[in-house]
Copies of this chain bind each other. A is one copy, B any other.
Amino acid sequence: MKLSDKVINRLTLYHNILVGYIEKKISYISSPQIAALLNVDASQVRKDLKLLNNDGICKVGYPVEELKKSIEKFLGFIKKKDAFIVGAGNLGMALAKYDNFELYGFNIIALFDNDPLKVGLSTNNKQVFHISKLENLAQRLRVQIAILTVPRQFAQQVADFLVKSGIKYIWNFSPCVIEVSEGVHVWNENLIGNFLHFTIDHGD
C-alpha cells in the first residue's frame, strides 16, 4: 500500500492530539473532536483511521491509548531510524532538542560541524563531532540518514561529502536544491512553502 504524504501528515497530527489527550488523562476521542481541532471533515478522519483497522465505539469514540499505538505501529515509529545532524548552528541544535523526534522513532545519534568552537559541545545528550569523523561513524554505526542544516552556500559541497560517506537519505533544511547521485534520496524541507498557501489570497 502506498500512502500519500497528506495521509501521513494527518496521521502524525492525530498522533500529536492523542499525546495531548493522554497528558490530560482523557480516555476516548471522537472523529468530530479530531476533525474540529484540525479543521478537516470528520468523514476524512474516519477514513484515515480505518486504514489502521481501528474502529471507534459508537457514541464513545476511539480509545486514545490504543489509537496512539496503532498510529505508531502503522507509521513505523517503532522501527528505530538513526540519524546524524550536520550543522550545529541554531537550527541543528533546535532539531537535536526537538522533543518529538524520538516519539517517531528518530534517534539523533550525534551532530557534526567544522567549527572548532562547536566541536565538543553537547545538547540533549548528543555530542557535536568534527565533520571529519562523520564517514567513519556513519560506517561503524550504519547511519544512513543525515539532517542537513548548514548554510545555503555550503549545502551542495557538504551533501557531496555525505553521499561519499555512505549517507542514503538527506533531509535538507538549507533553502537550496541539492544534487545527488542515483540511489540517494533528498527531501527538500521547504518551511516557507508549507506556510505560504495560508497567507496567500489570490481571490477566485
Shortest distance in angstroms between A177's beta carbon and chain B's nearest beta carbon?
5
- Assess the A9–B193 pair: CB atoms within 8 A: yes
Bound complex: CA of A100 vs CA of B94, how far in Å? 18
Bound complex: CA of A3 vs CA of B203, how far in Å? 10
* Chain B residue, CB-CB nearest to A101: B192
The size class of the interface chain A forms with chain B is: 35 or more
Task: Check A152 for interface membership: any CB of B closer than 8 A.
Answer: yes
- Assess the A194–B194 pair: CB atoms within 8 A: yes
Which residue, of A106, A145, A175, has the highest number of chain B Cβ atoms within 10 A?
Answer: A175
Specify which of B3, B16, B187, B200 is in contact with A175 (CB 8 Å cutoff).
B16
* Chain B residue, CB-CB nearest to A198: B187
Task: Check A26 for interface membership: any CB of B closer than 8 A.
Answer: no
- Assess the A202–B1 pair: CB atoms within 8 A: yes
Shortest distance in angstroms between A195's beta carbon and chain B's nearest beta carbon?
5
Residues from chain B with Cβ under 8 Å of A99 in the complex: 151-152, 175
Chain A residues engaging chain B, CB cutoff 8 angstroms: 1-5, 8-9, 11-13, 16-17, 19-20, 37-38, 75-76, 81, 89-91, 93-95, 97-101, 104, 106, 145, 151-152, 169, 171, 175-177, 179, 185, 187-204
